[in-house]
Amino acid sequence: MPHIIPFRAIRPERSKAALTATRSYITYTDEEREDKLKNNPYSFMRIIHPPGSEKLSGEEKFLKVREAFLNYLQEGDLIKEDQPAFYIYEQSYGNHIFKGIIAGISVDDYNNGKIKKHEHTLTNREKMFKEYLQTTQLNAEPVLLTYSRQKEIDDCIARYEQTRPEYEFTTTDHHTHKLWIVQKREDIDLLQNAFRKLDSVYIADGHHRSASSALLGNEKRGGAQSGSDQKLPTDYFSAYLISDHNLEIKPFYRGVKFKKTLSPDAFLKQIKKSFDVECKNETPVEPVETHKTGLYIEGLWYEISPKKGTYDENNPVEILDCHILSTRIFRDILGVKDEKTDANIQFIPAVNGVQSMVDCVNRGEYKAGFVPPPVKVDQLKKVADHNLIMPPKSTWVEPKLRSGLVIYDINEF
């Protein structure tokens, strides 16, 4: 029974929403960042990376972020909602349409396992994000959660889509963004009751942000995980809840290096011990079917399929193709012990396009490239249901939310 709450968001006024919202800082080139900081006085990047903070770190930088945020509030570039609300957010591009609810979700649900995980988090990153929240006092990028489809939620979203959105704009990456404000008491009750019917929700993207919010919430409670009827803003964190039928999962490609003593022919021979291998010549192999993986090496494409008995069909993690690659090829053939730290393995988001990986192999940056099929939503949920952990970089999840559109104030609801 996950518990969600409406909240009084801090957000840009309608006319400035398109100028304020920003992608993740690391997705911009140096030139793009410089352009935004120089030519767009409303960009939220000016808050999360304010001028003068380049050489700062830790609390000093976080205080600079807080200062920039307060300046925006004072100048009226950001406004605070007059009453608590849920926010229906839609992002679309091409044939892709994502829609869901932005809400506060309970830290207790994270502590009690109603918000389910499929990735490990690093303690130092949890603490760093917790200190960021504590100092800046703002939660500007909702965690992406997914849930089993509910007709009541779909119907509520559909009703609002027939009305004029508060925001509607298209960004330079050709993504269209729309936002509706839900403040009617009957609709708030409807959505809260619909989510209470669920057994759990699943983290699709944002494990560290979820963990850090829980860490801060528990600290504010003096270590207690729940109990008091008097709730604090830190007992919740910002989440974008999207139905599992509306989520899109893409893979990460793997670029690999190996010693010169291992020739491409010898590498393929080793692979054939655990995989059926079919040469596709120069035709790119970008599989969507489970247990079909593309391999690009020496200018040729191969489709490889794990042989029966090389993985445990009853284990939700070991049946994943990214896990089979990790164990049967990267570990057993290349001797990779930890993909997160081994310089011989590189992860390339599928959104960059398969040609980006091919170009790297052709330039000699990698000896070979692997294109696994995407993890299915049901596979992700099954891993989380069994309290298991996926291999690193198993999923690239869409949509990616923009920062600065709907800000959760951890000082007051």
Res 30 pLDDT > 90: no
- 90 strand-pairing partners: 99, 178
Q: Which residue has the higher pLDDT, 218 or 38?
A: 218
Q: Are 247 and 146 in contact (CB under 8 A)?
A: yes
Whether 47 contacts 65, CB under 8 Å: yes
CB atoms within 10 A of CB 356: 15
Can you give the pLDDT at residue 229?
A: 63
- Look at residues 344, 388, 389, 390 and name the one whose alpha carbon lies nearest to residue 370: 344
Within 10 A of 253 (CB to CB), how many other CB atoms are there?
27
- Alpha carbons 239 and 7: distance in angstroms, whole number: 11
What's the whole-number average pLDDT of the chain?
Answer: 93
The pLDDT assigned to 344 comes to 92
pLDDT(228) > 70: no
User: Pick from 148, 157, 164: which is nearest to 116 by CA?
Assistant: 148
What is the reported pTM? 0.93
* Location of structure tokens 């979203």: 157
Q: Find the mean pLDDT for residues 286-294.
A: 96
397-412 pLDDT, tens digit each: 999 999 999 999 998 8
How far is 397 from 143, CA to CA, in rounded Å? 12
Q: Using an 8 Å Cβ cutoff, are 344 and 258 in contact? A: yes
Q: Are 389 and 292 in contact (CB under 8 A)?
A: no
* Span 315-328, pLDDT tens digits: 999 999 999 999 99
- Report the candidate in 171, 175, 129, 140 with the shortest Cα–Cα distance to residue 36: 171
Q: What is the pLDDT of residue 215?
A: 96
Domains for the chain: give ranges and CATH numbers.
4-248+398-409 (no CATH), 252-394 (3.30.1760.10)
Measured in residues, the chain has a length of: 413
In angstroms, rounded to a whole number, what is the distance separating the alpha carbons of residues 106 and 1? 11
Reply yes or no on whether the pLDDT at 377 is more than 60.
Answer: yes
The radius of gyration of the chain from alpha carbons, rounded to an integer in Å, stands at: 23
